Amino acid sequence: MSLLSKMPSMEASSLFSIYTSLVGIMMLVRSMANEIIPQQLRTYLYEKFYNILFDSTKSSPRLTLVIDENWGITRNEVFNAASTYLPTKITPSTQRLKAGKTARQKTVTTAMENGEEIIDSFDGIQLKWKLVCAESKGKPKENIYYELSFIKKFKDRVLEAYIPYILSSAKQLRHEEKVIKLYTRHISSREDGGGLWGSIDLEHPARFDTLAMDRALKKMVIDDLDRFLGRKEYYKKVGKVWKRGYLLYGPPGTGKSSLIAAVANYLKFDVYDLELSNIHSNSELRRILVSTTNRSIIVIEDIDCNEQMQDRGHQNWNGLNSERKLTLSGMLNFIDGLWSSCGDERIIIFTTNHKEKLDPALLRPGRMDMHIHMSYCTPQGFKILVSNYLSSQSNNHPLSEEIEGLIEIADVTPAEIAEELMKGDDPDCVLGGLLDFLKHKIEDNKIKAREAKKVQLEKAKEPRPVKSEESEWVQFKI
């Protein structure tokens, strides 16, 4: 009797043991499948399995979202994001694809063809995408849209989680593949704003690791850019516009333009080159700057050469007349006034060869947040240039030590060093020529210094007007 009473508990124990063993085996098989079977093949098998079960899901009500190419009078961001995201979900079962490449792309890319379907999954939801190109009655252009279908009960999760995921993924993909544009005015192009801005691809190869720039200063700039990019919510919390201003100053040839290109390549931001000499009023300046896009760099070079930016004292502050001319106040209003809020995630870079000529109102934090001195070439910068133009092994050349010593006293720019390094491929000849160049440069600098001192002494000997303390007569002091 006692043996019979124990049988049910023994059977339950055995069943539980078998169940746990099966679960363990299934988890092991799943783990091995994820490690052994490629992701594309897993997606393909899943798609086939999904198609087999598709008939059984017809009983569940389904919903189809139509995602048009346009939304009102503007491009539909969801359509653009889907066009970027879906090519990453193409599987071996796809029958028809479009293929092509641009001059900048290294490989051929593919995209969906009309009528093709792609199965995707997200958070346990199965979704089917279909591209439709339909003729529009009375319109010369095709009506292009995506159909996204799924079980209706998942509508909220698709709208609140899946679509934002598509937008985020597409943004990241575009950032990785983006071709940076250099915009300038006075190029007629309907694609770029009706002739206001025209653009070309910015193919400048400058990167931070190739810049002949002090290592500590370079790191400081990179850290500042990274901190700026990650502080959107912080700027919003403290009530500041999400922008950053930089002043690059130093002699010509010290790498200001190369640093701008390196920043653009690092951030993947488009560049707007703004010529103040071609702008004639504050209202025109506002109209031009508002037409620039977010995630861009606005460059104003040689700001010290623009008369309106040098002296506020000679400007006409009458309201109507000041709108008809470009003034320092108009520039300041865009940098940190009310008009500065017309755009987010912008970098504004000013360059000058003579920082001392700038009005102090331009230099304060909030307008030019970071002042970067682009100095003459240093021994550290020389090593980077040698690695760029010759080879890293050339830094151990017997002449390198002597060259580095001369560079410290020669007041030579990175552009001058680079020009000498480009004169050949043989390190012996090139570095020998650079050594001679530096010696001549030092002698020339000494001669110029003596001549400058002579001129200064001659000016000191000239009579200068002095106002007498006892009368209003102007006397000359010898």
| pLDDT higher at 195 or 426 | 426
What residues contact 378, with CB distance under 8 A and at least 6 apart?
214, 407, 408
pLDDT in tens, 97-122: 888 877 666 778 777 888 889 999 99
Predicted confidence at residue 271, as pLDDT, reads 93
CA 256 to chain centre: 17
* 90 and 118 Cβ atoms separated by less than 8 Å: yes
* 261 and 206 Cβ atoms separated by less than 8 Å: yes
pLDDT exceeds 50 at position 67: yes
The CATH number for 182-373, chosen from 3.30.420.40, 3.30.930.10, 3.40.50.1950, 3.40.50.300, is 3.40.50.300
Q: Which among 389, 403, 397 has a CA at the least distance from the CA of 428?
A: 397
Predicted confidence at residue 467, as pLDDT, reads 54
Full 3-state SS string of 260-287: HHHHHHHHCCEEEECCHHHCCCHHHHHH
* 385 and 414 Cβ atoms separated by less than 8 Å: yes
Q: Which among 397, 396, 408, 409 has a CA at the least distance from the CA of 433?
A: 397
pLDDT exceeds 50 at position 192: no
Tell me which of 23-32, 50-59, 124-133 is least confident.
50-59
- Give, in degrees to the nearest 5, the angle at Cα 137 between 133 and 142: 25
What residues contact 168, with CB distance under 8 A and at least 6 apart?
none
- Give, in degrees to the nearest 5, the angle at Cα 164 between 160 and 167: 160
107: helix, coil or strand? coil
Residue type, 211: L
| pLDDT higher at 324 or 396 | 396
pLDDT exceeds 70 at position 306: no
102: helix, coil or strand? coil
CB atoms within 10 A of CB 462: 8
* 108 and 141 Cβ atoms separated by less than 8 Å: no
pLDDT in tens, 241-258: 888 999 999 999 999 999
DSSP state of 292: S
β-bridge mates for residue 466, sequence order: 475
What mean pLDDT do residues 375-402 have?
91
pLDDT exceeds 70 at position 279: yes
Predicted confidence at residue 466, as pLDDT, reads 59
Q: Which among 202, 203, 209, 204 has a CA at the least distance from the CA of 385?
A: 209
3: helix, coil or strand? helix
11: helix, coil or strand? helix
pLDDT in tens, 167-176: 999 988 887 7
Average pLDDT, the chain: 80
Token code pair at residue 478? 């010898």
pLDDT in tens, 408-451: 999 999 999 999 999 998 999 999 999 999 999 999 988 888 88
pLDDT in tens, 124-144: 899 999 999 887 666 656 788
| pLDDT higher at 128 or 56 | 128
Predicted confidence at residue 343, as pLDDT, reads 65
Q: DSSP for 417-430?
A: HHHHHTT-S-HHHH
The model carries a pTM of 0.64
Predicted confidence at residue 463, as pLDDT, reads 74
pLDDT exceeds 80 at position 2: no
Phi/psi at 315 (5° precision): -90, 150
pLDDT exceeds 90 at position 160: yes
In the chain, domain spans: 41-177, 182-373, 382-461
Tell me how far CA of residue 467 lies from CA of 17, 98, 312, 441, 463, in angstroms.
Answer: 110, 85, 28, 45, 13
- CA quadruple 58, 60, 61, 64: dihedral sign: negative
* 322 and 329 Cβ atoms separated by less than 8 Å: yes
| pLDDT higher at 23 or 187 | 23
Token code pair at residue 280? 């004639």
Percent of the chain with pLDDT over 90: 36
| pLDDT higher at 35 or 143 | 143
Predicted confidence at residue 247, as pLDDT, reads 93
Predicted confidence at residue 167, as pLDDT, reads 93
Tell me which of 57-66, 95-104, 191-200, 269-278 is least confident.
191-200
Residue type, 106: K
pLDDT exceeds 80 at position 316: no
pLDDT exceeds 80 at position 269: yes
Predicted confidence at residue 33, as pLDDT, reads 66
- CA quadruple 407, 408, 409, 412: dihedral sign: positive
Alpha carbon distance 198, 182 (integer Å)? 8
Predicted confidence at residue 472, as pLDDT, reads 45
DSSP state of 207: -
- What b/e sequence results for 193-226 when a residue is b if at least 16 CB atoms lie within 10 Å of its CB, and e otherwise? eeebbbbeebebebebeebbbeeeebeebeeebe
CB atoms within 10 A of CB 55: 8
